[in-house]
Amino acid sequence: MASLEEREGDVAGAVRRLARTAAFAEAMAEAGSGETVRLDTKSTSLSARPRLQGVVFRVWTGKRWAEASTSHLAGPELSAAVEHLEGEVAHGGGTAPPPGLSTTTKGSWATHPKRPLHDLGSDGTIALAKEARDWAKAVPDIVEVQVRLSWEEEERLYLNSAGARCHERTLRTHAAVVPIAMENGNPAFDYWSHGGVGGLETVPPLDEPAMRQAAENSRALLHAKAPPSGEMEVLLDDTVAGLFAHESFGHGTEADQFVRDRSYLKPLLGSTVGPEFLSIADDGTVPGGWGSIYCDDEGHPGQKTMLVDHGRFVGALHDRETASLLGAKATGSTRRSDFLSRAFVRMTNTYVEPGDRSVEELIADVQDGVLLEHGTSGIEDPLGGQMQLKVRKGHRIEHGRLTDLVGGMALSGKVLDFLRSTRGVAKGKVGAIDPGFCGKGHGDYLHVGTGGVHLLSRAIVGLA
């Protein structure tokens, strides 16, 4: 299989050919490599990333965008994709110029890991996973431990008819350990998951204390009490605060939702929406951040964009088209899941910036509430302004003290009400950027990071 750079001439030739009839043409070619080790008490499996490569072309027809993709970087299949798009341009029925500015970025970027996982080789990676498994399995009541160690290098080449050429190799490393505890036929688990752009330096050590603690966390959930139900004070830990940032001001500020008139936030741009001590950012340049990018899929470099600055809603995420329509600048937020997927306005790493209270002070401020810990997922509601966040566990807070461990919960609420009720944000540093995948709708999943600091507010919580 020829490399992307070896096939660059074919792809660039196709872009030049498309530009003869289209006002603008671009291509994103993609390839990748990687390995995943999965191990539990019964089996060891390895998987190599599929040896896939392909390219997507996008042209402006004079009226709208048209795209075609193929898993062949040369030959008749590539020509067929180009010919199809030439037909779309010929029958496009419009003469309007393409929306927004075409990038002319030129550059080449690559991740340089300090401790590449692939340097361990398959045997070394399996040995590391076995050690982690055995430490966790040694804890009583743990019946199974699943360990997953992986690295993947994604290569992307972006070319357009304005002269942009962005070539990037992004290496991500991820480690996850899931100890499963069992009692009377009832399984319970917590999990340990870390990763980032880079090598093993983005993952905390998989050492005995960490693995035993992960197993003890699962075991403790065997005896967790039922969570409380109803509206109450909620203290989000850093992982849940990151999900809050992503679901509330991340999706709500993707400006394609503004263009669709589908964001409750659109009329609030420039206004104060929360307390002065609350700031939220999306930053594609966080060193090692799971969602960090070098260049987006329109050739804009990654950047930091303030979404909420000291309580004021100040910014949105833009691609070239939304920037053009709304009088803004593109924010390095145009992303495709892969060469088979369309480009959308997407997030990178989204987080709550530190405030000025200690976590202890925030807990002491709660008379009757719950600490939500270990966020797992969320879902947005761009038009209605609702949000749903789910967590693996939590602790009751009673009279300013943490009390009982409680099981998984869902939080539901209106974002603006939640902001109005926000009483404090913890100080300190934004901790680890948690690795995750985000869909747009129910598809188009890609790497995003979330993070933050503890945040105190009020919402509905219930069993989940």
Site for other proteins in 206-245 (CB under 8 A): 229-231
Contacts by residues 81-84 (CB-CB < 8 Å, ≥ 24 positions apart): 81/14, 81/55, 81/57, 82/14, 82/17, 82/18, 82/57
Instruction: Please list every residue from 14 through 43 that binds other proteins, using CB under 8 A.
Output: 40-43
| Positions 375 through 404 that interact with other proteins (CB under 8 A) | 376-377, 379, 381, 383-384, 386-388, 390
d(CA 98, CA 321): 8
Nearer to other proteins, 139 or 359 (CB): 139
What does the per-residue mask of binding to other proteins show for 276-295, with x meaning CB under 8 A?
--------------------
Residue 326 or 460 with smaller CB distance to other proteins: 460
- Residue from 93, 95, 140, 261 touching other proteins (CB under 8 A): that is 261
Residue keyed to tokens 């019964």: 42
Out of 12, 79, 264, 309, point to the residue binding other proteins (CB under 8 A).
Answer: 264
Smallest CA-to-CA distance from 177 within 144, 224, 220, 219 is with: 144
Phi, psi of 233 (to 5 degrees): -75, 135
Burial class from Cβ neighbours inside 10 Å (0-12, 13-18, 19+) for residue 274 reads buried
First to last CA, the chain: 47
Stretch that binds other proteins, among 95-103, 163-171, 254-262, 280-288 (CB under 8 A): 254-262
Stretch that binds other proteins, among 110-118, 197-205, 261-269, 355-363 (CB under 8 A): 261-269
Residue 8 CB, nearest approach to other proteins (Å): 18
The Cα 345–Cα 258 span in angstroms is: 11
Work out how close the CB of 417 gets to other proteins at its nearest, in angstroms, rounded to a whole number: 10
Contact (CB, 8 A) for 362 and 235:
yes
Site string for other proteins, 159-198 (x = CB under 8 A): -------------------x-x-x-xxxxxx---------
Closer residue to other proteins, CB minimum distance, 357 or 390: 390
d(CA 461, CA 458): 9
C-alpha span between 295 and 335 (Å, rounded): 9
CB of 180 to other proteins, least distance (A): 6
With contacts defined by CB under 8 A, name the span among 20-28, 138-146, 356-364, 396-404 that binds other proteins.
138-146
β-bridge mates for residue 435, sequence order: 449
Counted residue by residue, the chain has a size of 464
Q: How far is the CB of 241 from other proteins (least distance, A)?
A: 18
Which CB sits closer to other proteins, 323 or 453? 323
Least distance to other proteins, CB of residue 355, Å: 27
Cα 218 to Cα 143: distance, rounded to the nearest angstrom: 11
Residue 70 or 253 having the CB closest to other proteins = 70
Beta carbon of residue 59, minimum distance to other proteins (angstroms, whole number): 11
> Alpha-carbon distance 439 to 251, whole Å?
10
User: Could you tell me which residues come within 8 angstroms of residue 5 by beta carbon, excluding any fewer than 6 positions away?
Assistant: 157, 167
Mark residues 86-125: x for contact with other proteins by CB under 8 A, - for none: --x---------------------------------xx--
Number of shown-chain residues binding other proteins (CB under 8 A)? 86
* Minimum CB–partner distance for residue 357 and other proteins (Å): 27
> Restricting to residues 44-73, which ones interact with other proteins according to CB under 8 A?
44-48, 50-54, 56, 64-72
Q: Which is nearer to other proteins, 202 or 376 (CB)?
A: 376
349 vs 261: CA distance, rounded Å: 25
- CA–CA separation, 256 and 270 (whole Å): 18
As given in the structure block, the two tokens for residue 266 are 């659109």
Token code pair at residue 98: 């393409």
Q: 126 or 359, CB closer to other proteins?
A: 126
Q: Which is nearer to other proteins, 55 or 430 (CB)?
A: 55
* Nearer to other proteins (CB atom), residue 180 or residue 359: 180
* Residue 220 tokens, joined: 């403790």
Q: Is residue 37 helix, strand or coil?
A: strand
Closer residue to other proteins, CB minimum distance, 107 or 384: 384
Closest CA to 136 of 181, 172, 105, 92: 181
Pairing relationship of beta strands 186-189 and 192-197 according to DSSP bridges? unpaired
Nearer to other proteins, 221 or 426 (CB): 221
User: What is the CB-side half-sphere exposure of residue 437 using CA atoms within 13 A?
Assistant: 11
Q: Which of 338, 361, 365, 404 touches other proteins by CB under 8 A?
A: 338
Kindly identify the residues of this chain, within the stretch 393-452, that bind other proteins according to CB under 8 A: 407-414, 437, 441-443, 445-446
